[in-house]
Copies of this chain bind each other. A is one copy, B any other.
Amino acid sequence: MESLQPLSKLSVLEAAGRLSSHIVSTPVLTSTAIDRSYQTTLFFKGEHLQHTGSFKFRGAMNAALLAKEAGEVGTLCTHSSGNHGAALAEAGRILGFDVKVVMPKGANAIKVNAVRRAGGEVIWCAASNQAREEKVAQIQRQYAAVLVPPFDDERVIAGQGTATLELLDTVEQLDAVLVPVGGGGLLGGALLASEGVKVIGVEPDLANDTWRSFKSGERYGIDYSLTICDGLRASVGVRNFELIRRQASDILSVSEEAIVRATAQFWRDAKSFVEPSAAIVLAAVLENPEMFRNQRIGAILSGGNVDLSALQKPPYDRWMANEMAANTQ
């Protein structure tokens, strides 16, 4: 199933052609209040408005379309903390596949429901990366299913790259593009799509394996993280890290407080309901204002499937409330 040629910008262009009639060409959002507060100009690619509420639909649909082109029928399977699972379930529903999604216990209820709403079957496992890898391997054997991994996969990386491709087609002369990093599918795709434009990954301090890997040149993993960014808890993938190591301009690691404040600022000023894993791109500006001052910065808002109950727990609730009531100036 995997493509034989190495990943390149061509892989992303091919994915864009394959996906064109299936995805939302999401809007690029701006906010004068946010720009004013950081003295910069930000262009947000609104993937919270993508089908199933995240960019994940791009990669999942690209893989599902390739499976169909290859004559596959039957079952697709994956493991996912949520957004990829919902995306694959929806892609499978549209193309006539059964979809089985291995999810860790304690996964965001919104994301679990989204899988089921699209007709996907949720199969629970323990909340470690190792446990879910084992469970999905078992499912794959049992149903002779096509595995569509959440990020460490050429088809998926190429599909995710189409978000950055669209951003760069829409907005000219960007000084850099900020991209959230979990497993590195979105960032890997952005690096393929963005020849000549600086791409910077952003990761939570509480799950900053990619930051550590990038700084050391050697791939680190994490087995478990409690970051509020439920979409960014995975360890960076092998294929993903290879792209990141070679081509990323930098990886920034940001605090939970900055992420929650950026989420609240985004809701308050831009009126867009994005999840913390998306607002992390603004947290990078909040924590490094001098790095981005007087520039034109692109940023991928990865999704909008917010787990509000997680943000209602201390200390997140206090950070949220403080920022919501704050004066932007």
Contact = CB atoms under 8 A, between A and B. Distances in A.
Interface of A is mostly: helix
Given A312-B312, A312-B317, A304 B113 contact: no
A119 to B, nearest CB: 10
Contacts of A309: 321, 324-325
A94 B122 CA distance: 55
Interface stretch (A8-16, A176-184, A269-277): A269-277
B312 A321 contact: yes
A59 to B, nearest CB: 20
Contacts of A267: 273, 306, 308
A288 interface: no
B117 A329 contact: yes
Given A308-B320, A308-B321, A321-B312, A327 B274 contact: no
B268 A271 contact: no
A238 interface: no
Interface string A301-327: 000101111001000010011001111
Contacts of A307: 324
Determine the interface band of chain A, counting residues with CB < 8 A from chain B.
20 to 34
A304 B324 CA distance: 12
Contacts of A328: 117
A271 B270 CA distance: 11
Interface in A139-173: none
A237 interface: no
Contacts of A264: 308
A49 interface: yes
A85 interface: no
A48 interface: yes
Contacts of A327: 113, 116-117
Given A117-B329, A264-B308, A273-B273, 12 more contacts: A48-B271, A109-B325, A110-B268, A113-B325, A116-B327, A117-B327, A267-B273, A267-B308, A308-B320, A308-B321, A309-B325, A312-B312
5 contacts: A53-B271, A113-B325, A267-B308, A272-B273, A307-B324
Report the 8 A-B pairs with minimum CB-CB distance, sorted nearest first.
Answer: A109-B325, A271-B304, A267-B273, A271-B273, A308-B324, A113-B327, A48-B271, A273-B273
Interface of A: 48-49, 53, 109-110, 113, 116-117, 264, 267-268, 271-274, 304, 306-309, 312, 317, 320-321, 324-329
